[in-house]
Amino acid sequence: MMAIPIPVLTIDGPSGAGKGTVSRIVAKELGWHYLDSGSIYRSLAIALSQKEADLANVDQILSIAQAMDLAYECDDELIVKLNGEDITAQLGTETTGNVASIVAAIPEVRQVLLQKQKDFKKPPGLVADGRDMGTVVFPDADFKVFLTASAAKRAERRYKQLMEKGIDVNIHQITSEIESRDCRDKERLTAPLAQAEDALFIDSSAMTIDAVIAQVLSLVPQRLVRQ
Ligand SMILES: Nc1ncnc2c1ncn2[C@@H]1O[C@H](COP(=O)(O)OP(=O)(O)OP(=O)(O)O)[C@@H](O)[C@H]1O
Ligand SMILES: Nc1ccn([C@@H]2O[C@H](COP(=O)(O)O)[C@@H](O)[C@H]2O)c(=O)n1
């Protein structure tokens, strides 16, 4: 018997472009699974901090990455458990994002985390967001989007998001962190942030979240939407 193909929609782009917000809603609308691949790199950053690991010691980073037991519970928000501990609250900080982006540049780390990401591909379908979903992890994805926005807009959104969570931040610091993370993510040698050739380019700088969602959903034929 022939296996039924599992459709995959990838959404790649830089930090704060709206990938997570859009992907979560699109996955819900389609009735598909959702992979927030950044949360895997962020979880590693937290595991490294818990073990007070040396970020220059690649062997130590790899053994911590291999031992990570990650569990996801999808409620209204995504709950992430690392070795049984709920780490959701620590995932979103800029420090976690910055450490994640430092270790994400290590090719062996990406190799160790590759299968964990591929395992999310299950029926009836998958929406995957990250930096290399359409280029490396799911190069054969049926639908691909590259979602971006100006650095200033992304910093403004991230600033609002963190302030709403009660995290006191400085807009200048956020802007410079976003710019240096963009640079690190784009310039690393392995799986850099890049638009897949066959991806739809969306600049959300002047778009509402609903408009972005509508454009992404328009890629997927109705017959693939779980009723
Ligand atoms: N088109 C938009 N208009 C206004 N606000 C937006 C838009 N898209 C996203 N946002 C807001 O920007 C913030 C960042 O969005 P989100 O976390 O989805 O970005 P991201 O691309 O997943 O970032 P990261 O890669 O760092 O996880 C959120 O508060 C979200 O509500
Ligand atoms: N596919 C991916 C996803 C993420 N990263 C790295 O993790 C950092 C945090 O990701 P967020 O999406 O949660 O902000 C990000 O800056 C990347 O360095 C990655 O390399 N590949």
- Quote the pLDDT of residue 90: 92
Give the integer Cα–Cα distance in Å for 209 and 199: 19
Give me the residues paired with residue 129 across strands.
11, 36
Give the integer Cα–Cα distance in Å for 186 and 132: 10
Domain contains 195 = yes
Q: Which domain holds residue 13?
A: 8-224
Is residue 110 scored above 70 in pLDDT? yes
Mean pLDDT score, 148-156: 96
Domain contains 63 = yes
Q: What is the pLDDT of residues 113-150, one digit of tens each?
A: 999 999 999 999 999 999 999 999 999 999 999 999 99
Furthest C-alpha separation in the chain: 58
Atom from ligand 1 closest to the CA of residue 22: 18
Task: Determine whether the annotation assigns residue 19 to a binding site.
Answer: yes
CB–CB of 220/9 below 8 Å?
yes
Domain contains 170 = yes
CA dihedral 198, 25, 34, 110 (to 10 degrees): 60
Cβ-Cβ contacts under 8 Å for 110 (sequence gap 6 or more) = 104, 136, 190, 191
- Quote the pLDDT of residue 105: 96
Domain contains 3 = no
**Most ligand 1 atoms within 8 A of CB, residue of 19, 21, 22, 77 to mutate:** 21
SS3 64: helix
Query: Minimal CA–CA distance to 194: which of 130, 98, 113, 112?
Result: 130
Task: Determine whether the annotation assigns residue 20 to a binding site.
Answer: yes
Q: What is the pLDDT of residues 185-213, one digit of tens each?
A: 999 999 999 999 999 999 999 999 999 99
- Quote the pLDDT of residue 1: 67
| CA 4 / ligand 2 centre spacing (Å) | 30
- Whether ipTM tops 0.85, in short, is yes
Q: What is the pLDDT of residues 29-73, one digit of tens each?
A: 999 999 999 999 999 999 999 999 999 999 999 999 999 999 988
Domain contains 219 = yes
Mean pLDDT of the chain: 94
The DSSP secondary-structure symbol of 188 reads: -
With a 6 A CB cut-off, is 14 part of the ligand 1 pocket?
no
Give me the residues paired with residue 146 across strands.
12, 201
Domain contains 169 = yes
CATH of the domain at 104: 3.40.50.300
Ligand nearest to the CA of 207: 1
Q: What is the pLDDT of residues 67-105, one digit of tens each?
A: 999 998 876 778 999 999 999 999 988 889 989 999 999
Domain contains 162 = yes
Number of domains in the chain: 1
Count of other CB atoms within 10 angstroms of residue 196? 19
Share of the chain above pLDDT 90, in %: 84
Domain contains 1 = no
